[in-house]
Every structure is written in C-alpha cells, then in structure tokens.
Chain A
C-alpha cells in the first residue's frame, strides 16, 4: 500500500525556519517525482514545489522561491522541505504528493498533511 507520512509541522514565529519530512513507503520512491502542495485553512490547494526522481530538475512556485528548499533522499525514501523566512501566509497544511510525470505532472497519491502555523 502506498503511504506518504508528513512530519515536522509546528508553530513558528514570522521570520523563523522549520523543516518538513515526508516518509514514503509501498512503492519505489526513487522512480517517482514528488511534490509539496499546501492548503491554507479553509482555502484551496496551492502547488509549492516538485523535484524529479534524481533531483535533476526542481521547480518552485514564485511564492516560495528563494525561501523554501525541497530535497530528497532516495536511500531513505524521504522528501524534505526546508522553510526559511516564513511569514503569515505560509500558514497551511502541507501535503506530500507522489507525482506522475510521464504524461503529467499530476498528483496520484497524497499524504495526510503536516500543519504549519506562522504566528508571533
């Protein structure tokens, strides 16, 4: 069974930093593109970042470019999101999503999310 489990969500002050982790299982992680998608409370979905299986290509939304860094460790079946200089509009539930790239990219499996709250 495909599983994606996010961790690291927390309360952080504006301007602070934190790191999210997504642990993957049930599929060959190293063969897939993976992504972060977020959802602010009561709002819709917003794509954040994606990286290809070998990390050769990395894509960021303009809203996080220069502040967030996405990375992966295929040996540990893990995806990471390093968040710096966070601000109030980064408050959201952050989903890890397996991303089908062949004719995509679209998100074919999702985790349950990690809640990040930015507040003083």
Chain B
C-alpha cells in the first residue's frame, strides 16, 4: 500500500497571502495524484488531478505541481472561502490512498 503523508497538519495564513501544502508518497505515483477540498460540513470536491490539472470551475489561484513522490498544492492570494481541509490522493496503484489532510485556517 502506498502511504501518503501531508504536511503541515494545520496552516494558518492571512488573506491575500500564499499557502503551500505538501504531499509525499511512500513510492513513486508518477503524476497520478489528485487534490480535494473539503469545507466544514460539506463533502469533498475535486480540485486537481494529474498532479497539476485544475478540475472544471476551480479558480486559477489553485495550482498543483510535482511528480514521483513529492507534490505541492499552492493557493495564491488566499480567500476566506478557501478555509478547508485539503487531501491528496494517489491513484497509481490499488488500494487508492489518501493523505491525512492539511487544514488551512485564515488568520
């Protein structure tokens, strides 16, 4: 099983600032990496797939980078509505596995 590790667990960022979230895989997953956003009380929503491709309707301030074992999700110019937990997920191998999540708080 591929273990996905996200850091930090919590990130506190001021509005308008940049947030950088990390996701590491225990073995290479190529670019088969997705990011999800889960706001409080809501179901998750797909943000990024293929490590860097934004899903339909996702604002351009969200960007993903990386391949192999190291990935980042960057939110430039953080907005109040970006307060959420963000999860990465690898889909290179079964079982599909998620990281533990990074909670983004607005200062």
State yes or no: do A and B come from one complex: yes
Given A44-B101, A106-B34, A106-B89, decide whether A95 and B96 contact each other with a Cβ distance below 8 A. Answer: no
Beta-carbon contact of A103 and B50 below 8 Å: yes
For residue B1, give the distance in angstroms from its CB to the closest CB of chain A: 8
Beta-carbon contact of B98 and A106 below 8 Å: no
A32 at the B interface (CB under 8 A): no
For residue B25, give the distance in angstroms from its CB to the closest CB of chain A: 14
Beta-carbon contact of B96 and A105 below 8 Å: yes
B97 at the A interface (CB under 8 A): yes
**Count of A interface residues, CB-CB < 8 Å:** 22
Beta-carbon contact of B97 and A47 below 8 Å: yes
**Chain A at the B interface: SS class:** strand
Can you give 21 contacting A-B residue pairs, CB < 8 Å?
Answer: A37-B44, A44-B99, A45-B36, A45-B89, A47-B95, A47-B98, A50-B96, A59-B94, A59-B95, A62-B95, A95-B44, A104-B49, A105-B91, A106-B34, A106-B49, A106-B91, A107-B34, A108-B55, A110-B45, A112-B43, A113-B43
A111 at the B interface (CB under 8 A): yes
Question: Which B positions have Cβ atoms within 8 angstroms of A?
Answer: 1, 32, 34, 36, 38, 43-46, 49-50, 55, 85, 87, 89, 91, 94-101
Beta-carbon contact of B100 and A44 below 8 Å: yes
Question: Which A positions have Cβ atoms within 8 angstroms of B?
Answer: 37, 44-47, 50, 59, 61-62, 95, 100, 103-113
